[in-house]
């Protein structure tokens, strides 16, 4: 076995005596189900890099309070998730002793300060121990317990560091307990190749056409806890380094090329607030719920089934048909939907971006920067005491027509906002043409006249905007000036329309 490292086990057996017959089958099965090779380099006596990386990631996910140490409660939760059985009392202590004997830095005193992250590779310690030539089944501590704190003689509470966690798995493997490490890896969604499985990242989740996806109560709870855990300076916002830490167990910030954090509310320094964080996830879930599902897996959602963090709403079509939906509080037709999508259309320079930016409380800019690629922002809006999320999208003049042409995409829109510049004579005809070109009448609609701080211009159009709207039985345009912060409660108005879609659809009267 010393020469041929690929040999997992050597068992002396005899069919005649008989000797070790069941052992032969046991070890043969084990070699297939819990192979050593992907985990451990038997020549160098170290964990293989992919295994080490996976275990480091698992450690981070289990370290709920993010102090760099797994304390008794965290280890017990880990134990519950992986082995579904309690730790024997004293075992926690036994584990720490074992880790201490194995190498330095594996156990640390639990305090409020984060433990320094391990710099040294476990290779520096692993070579001290050699792999047992035949696996033992006597190793008792598959970490399990009704967890007692481990306390040093000086009365200090201790726990396992990331390095200690790696030591522990090295010990398991060296003692032939590969199944323990494999169980842990599989419970955390890893496949044989030590990558997260496709089913874990992208579980089956059916969304009937026209329905939308929102976060469930459990989903919001998880994301709130995550936020609180990573808000190390307790200032109620996640700054860049806190966000980087949070996304360390994932491929990175999923919104980095979408203009985040300008897409949601943040504090003056640009750190995302809890409100902004939950709003951003509400938007992601509405627009691309598969990203949310993958990130729930990456970020350590506690259920093995991540779809419990989501819920599917009823189709918008049903809300748009039938009787008008009377009350916002009503538990009738619209009850349950909390996240709404609003498209913002209008001529170039009419003030769409300014409106979107003001919605997420970003400062007004005098300079005109035309929108070249789509932009989506989200914020919460309080409607009669309940909180709704409103997602507002602008596409840029190049893509606007394409979006409006796609009836499949338009089925997912709750409100179309037609924006025109009230100081520009040609602005209104642009949206009137748009409406003529595409059949968008079934979608609830609101007109907004921007730049009300400037002189009102007569629109070069057969009828003036007020008359145009009245003819469609729609509300007359809402006049706003972002420059002077006069938003006329337009965002709440949009939400109310989204919640009462029947009453603002032009098709009924056009
Ligand atoms: N006076 C005044 N100017 C405004 C107001 N809102 C926007 N603007 C200015 O109008 C110009 C265009 O605004 P944007 O919000 O970029 O217009 P847009 O509709 O997004 O333009 P595109 O992205 O090119 O389609 C900018 O220079 C803004 O500063 C307002 O309320 N009052
Ligand atoms: Mg723009």
pLDDT tens digits for range 345-390: 999 999 999 999 999 999 999 999 999 989 999 999 999 999 999 9
In angstroms, the first-to-last Cα distance of the chain is 84
pLDDT tens digits for range 403-456: 888 888 888 899 999 999 999 999 999 999 999 999 888 899 999 999 999 999
* Cβ 450 under 6 angstroms from ligand 1: yes
Cα–Cα distance measured from residue 369 to residue 349, given in angstroms and rounded to the nearest whole number: 9
pLDDT of 200 > 80? The answer is yes
* Cβ 449 under 6 angstroms from ligand 1: no
pLDDT at 144: 42
Residues 430 and 347 sit within 8 Å (Cβ to Cβ): yes
Q: What ranges do the domains of the chain cover?
A: 21-190, 200-312, 317-503
Residues 164 and 10 sit within 8 Å (Cβ to Cβ): no
Expressed in angstroms and rounded, the spacing between residue 364 Cα and the centre of ligand 1 is 9
Q: Phi, psi (5° rounding) for residue 419? A: -105, 130
* Cβ 354 under 6 angstroms from ligand 1: yes
pLDDT at 87: 74
Handedness of CA 229, 235, 236, 237 (dihedral sign): negative
Q: If you write DSSP's letter for every residue of 109-131 in order, what string do you get?
A: E--SSPPPPP-S-THHHHTTS--
Q: Which residue has the tokens 């809006």?
A: 381
Helix (H) or strand (E) holding 343: strand 339-346
Q: Which two tokens stand for residue 197?
A: 């499985």
Q: Which atom of ligand 1 is nearest to the CA of 371?
A: 23
Cα–Cα distance measured from residue 126 to residue 130, given in angstroms and rounded to the nearest whole number: 8
Q: How many CB atoms lie within 10 A of CB 401?
A: 14
* Cβ 150 under 6 angstroms from ligand 1: no
Which homologous superfamily does the CATH classification assign to the domain defined by 317-503? P-loop containing nucleotide triphosphate hydrolases (3.40.50.300)
- Highest mean pLDDT among 81-95, 269-283, 318-332 belongs to 269-283
**Can you give 232-265 as a three-state secondary structure string?**
CCCCCEECHHHHHHHHHHCCCCCCCCCCCCCCCC
pLDDT at 376: 97
pLDDT at 7: 81
Same fold: 21-190 with 200-312 = yes
Question: Residue 479: which of 421, 428, 425, 430 has the closest Cα?
Answer: 421
Question: What would the mean pLDDT of 302-320 be, rounded to a whole number?
Answer: 86
Q: Which atom of ligand 1 is nearest to the CA of 354?
A: 15
* Cβ 393 under 6 angstroms from ligand 1: no
pLDDT at 155: 65
pLDDT at 148: 43
pLDDT tens digits for range 181-199: 999 999 999 999 999 999 9
Q: Which residues pair with 87 in a beta bridge?
A: 145
Question: Residue 386: which of 337, 446, 316 has the closest Cα?
Answer: 337
Question: Residue 392: which of 370, 362, 414 has the closest Cα?
Answer: 414
Which phi-psi region, left, alpha or beta, contains residue 328 (left: φ > 0; alpha: ψ -120 to 50)? Answer: alpha
Cα–Cα distance measured from residue 231 to residue 31, given in angstroms and rounded to the nearest whole number: 44
Dihedral of the alpha carbons of 422, 423, 426, 429, in degrees to the nearest 10: 0
Residues 419 and 351 sit within 8 Å (Cβ to Cβ): yes
Expressed in angstroms and rounded, the spacing between residue 345 Cα and the centre of ligand 1 is 13
Q: Which atom of ligand 1 is nearest to the CA of 419?
A: 19
Pick the CATH number of 200-312 from 2.30.110.10, 3.40.1440.10, 1.10.238.10, 1.10.486.10: 1.10.238.10
Cα–Cα distance measured from residue 63 to residue 229, given in angstroms and rounded to the nearest whole number: 10
Expressed in angstroms and rounded, the spacing between residue 311 Cα and the centre of ligand 2 is 32
Residues 375 and 393 sit within 8 Å (Cβ to Cβ): yes
Q: Which two tokens stand for residue 138?
A: 């006597």
Question: What would the mean pLDDT of 384-399 be, rounded to a whole number?
Answer: 93
Strands 386-394 and 339-346: parallel
**CA distance readout (Å), 337 to 376, 378, 460:** 19, 15, 39
Helices (H), 140-177: 162-174
* Cβ 349 under 6 angstroms from ligand 1: yes
Residues 75 and 159 sit within 8 Å (Cβ to Cβ): yes
Mutate to test the pocket of ligand 1, among 259, 362, 364, 368 (most ligand atoms within 8 A of CB): 368
Average pLDDT across the chain, whole number: 86
Helices (H), 254-379: 274-287, 289-298, 316-320, 352-359
pLDDT at 32: 86
> Which distant-in-sequence residues (6+ apart) come within 8 Å of 385 by Cβ?
none
Task: Give the SS3 label for residue 494.
Answer: helix
pLDDT at 118: 47
Question: What would the mean pLDDT of 260-274 be, rounded to a whole number?
Answer: 95
Q: Which two tokens stand for residue 458?
A: 């007569």
Question: Residue 409: which of 345, 346, 356, 347 has the closest Cα?
Answer: 345
Residues 86 and 144 sit within 8 Å (Cβ to Cβ): yes
* Cβ 368 under 6 angstroms from ligand 1: yes
Residues 447 and 350 sit within 8 Å (Cβ to Cβ): no
Expressed in angstroms and rounded, the spacing between residue 353 Cα and the centre of ligand 2 is 4
Q: Which residue has the tokens 């990331």?
A: 162
Residues 338 and 410 sit within 8 Å (Cβ to Cβ): no
- Where residue 151 falls among pLDDT bands split at 50, 70, 90? low
pLDDT tens digits for range 89-118: 688 888 999 999 999 999 998 875 554 444
Question: What would the mean pLDDT of 272-284 be, rounded to a whole number?
Answer: 98
Give the chain's count of helices (H) and strands (E): 19, 18
Helix (H) or strand (E) holding 473: none
Q: Closest Cα to atom 21, ligand 1: which residue? A: 349
CATH 3.40.50.720 fits 21-190, yes or no: no
Helix (H) or strand (E) holding 504: none
> Which distant-in-sequence residues (6+ apart) come within 8 Å of 36 by Cβ?
8, 42, 173, 178
């Amino acid at each position: 076995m010393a020469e041929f490292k690929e040999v997992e086990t050597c068992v002396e057996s005899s069919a005649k005596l008989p000797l070790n017959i069941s052992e032969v089958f046991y070890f043969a099965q084990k070699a297939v189900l819990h192979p050593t090779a992907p985990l451990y380099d038997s020549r160098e006596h170290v964990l293989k890099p992919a295994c080490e990386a996976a275990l480091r990631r698992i450690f981070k996910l289990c370290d709920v309070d993010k102090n760099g140490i797994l304390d008794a409660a965290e280890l017990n939760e880990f134990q519950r998730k992986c082995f579904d059985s309690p730790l024997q009392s004293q075992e926690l202590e036994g584990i720490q002793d074992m880790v201490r004997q194995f190498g330095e830095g594996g156990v640390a005193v639990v305090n409020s300060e984060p433990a320094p992250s391990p710099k040294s590779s476990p290779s520096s310690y692993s070579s001290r121990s050699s792999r047992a030539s035949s696996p033992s089944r006597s190793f008792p501590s598959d970490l399990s317990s009704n967890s007692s704190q481990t306390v040093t003689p000086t009365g200090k509470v201790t726990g396992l560091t990331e390095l200690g966690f790696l030591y522990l798995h090295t010990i398991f493997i060296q003692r032939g307990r590969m199944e323990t490490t494999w169980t842990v890896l599989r419970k955390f969604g890893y496949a044989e190749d030590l990558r997260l499985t496709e089913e874990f990242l992208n579980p089956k989740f059916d969304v009937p056409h026209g329905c939308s996806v929102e976060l469930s109560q459990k989903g919001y709870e998880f994301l709130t806890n995550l936020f609180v855990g990573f808000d190390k300076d307790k200032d109620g916002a996640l700054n860049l380094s806190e966000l980087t830490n949070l996304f360390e167990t994932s491929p990175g910030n999923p919104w980095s090329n979408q203009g985040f954090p300008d897409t949601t509310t943040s504090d003056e320094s640009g750190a995302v607030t809890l409100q902004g964080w939950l709003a951003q996830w509400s938007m992601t879930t509405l627009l691309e719920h598969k990203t949310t599902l993958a990130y729930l897996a990456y970020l350590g959602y506690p259920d093995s089934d991540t779809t419990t963090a989501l819920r599917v709403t009823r189709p918008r079509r049903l809300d748009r048909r039938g009787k008008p939906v009377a009350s916002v509080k009503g538990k009738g037709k619209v009850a349950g939907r909390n996240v709404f999508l609003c498209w913002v259309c209008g001529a170039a320079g009419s003030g769409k971006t300014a409106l979107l930016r003001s919605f997420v409380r970003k400062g007004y800019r005098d300079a005109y920067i035309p929108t070249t690629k789509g932009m989506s922002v989200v914020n919460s809006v309080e409607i009669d005491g309940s909180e709704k999320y409103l997602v507002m999208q602008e596409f840029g003049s190049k893509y606007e027509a394409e979006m409006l042409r796609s009836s499949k995409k338009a089925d997912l829109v709750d409100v179309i906002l037609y924006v025109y510049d009230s100081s520009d004579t040609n602005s209104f005809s642009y949206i009137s043409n748009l409406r003529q070109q595409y059949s968008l009448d079934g979608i609830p609609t609101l007109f907004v006249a921007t730049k009300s701080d400037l002189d009102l211009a007569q629109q070069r159009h057969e009828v003036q905007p007020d008359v145009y709207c009245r003819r469609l039985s729609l509300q007359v345009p809402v006049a706003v000036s972002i420059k002077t912060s006069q938003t006329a409660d337009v965002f709440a108005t949009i939400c109310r329309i989204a919640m009462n879609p029947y009453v603002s659809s032009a098709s009924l009267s056009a």
